[in-house]
Amino acid sequence: MRTQLAIHFFMFLLLAAACQPKAEPESQEEKTAFTVDRTYYYVRYLEDSKELQAEARFQQDTGSLVLPDKLYFEGQAMQPKKLPKIGWEYRYHERPAKFKGCYHFSYAGASDTICFPSYSNFALKTPAISLATGGLLAWEGQPLGQAESLVLLFEDSKGQSKTVNHVGLTRGSQFEIRPEHLEGLNAGPASLRLVHKSTLIQKVDGQVEVIKLEYYRKVLKIEIVD
């Protein structure tokens, strides 16, 4: 009798052990949150062709760089591309595109908004640009800031070109075109393309953001006189 009870008890223990839920093996993979030391954003708009270009890349000084699964620009997925010595860069291109002024990059539940400085109605305030006395360019909006620049691309009717690059503050919402800016150009019909650039470096939640914006404005038809 005792032997039968012992056998029954032993079988009960085996059955109970078999019914216990199996412990899940611990995952060897650790999920690492997306974090970087520096983020680079770049947006360019070309007014003539209504073309919008955007780029983003990330940099980590120490440890492994963990990239977001998806990166979006204005709700559209950006295309990743691996570049030599740079690493992974995300790109977006749209044409035709309407200029909005402010744009959004989003990833991993976070969103960054960047805005172009507000300038409009760039125009010459002199009837023509003189090789002897220069001219005056003006616009609506604030004077240029310390982190901004204005590029003037001249081309005359004979194909001669001249580039003027002004960096930093201006005296009011205008820029003086001096005779030395026009050296090498010929009198007659000409064109002037303006490129407004700005660079902002800021620290957000311990991360450095570098934001570069470029706006290529419509070509202005001008007259160069002696």
Digit-by-digit pLDDT tens for the chain (226 residues) are: 444 434 444 444 444 444 444 444 433 334 445 567 888 999 999 999 999 999 999 887 766 667 777 899 999 999 998 888 777 899 999 999 999 999 999 987 788 999 999 899 999 998 899 999 999 999 999 999 999 999 999 999 999 999 999 999 999 999 999 999 999 999 999 999 999 999 999 888 778 889 999 999 999 999 999 9
pTM above 0.85?
no
Burial of 106 (0-12, 13-18, 19+ CB in 10 A): middle
Give the chain's length. 226
Contact call for residues 129 and 138 (beta carbons, < 8 A): no
Q: Could you tell me the domains of the chain? A: 35-115 (2.60.40), 119-198+215-226 (2.60.40.10)
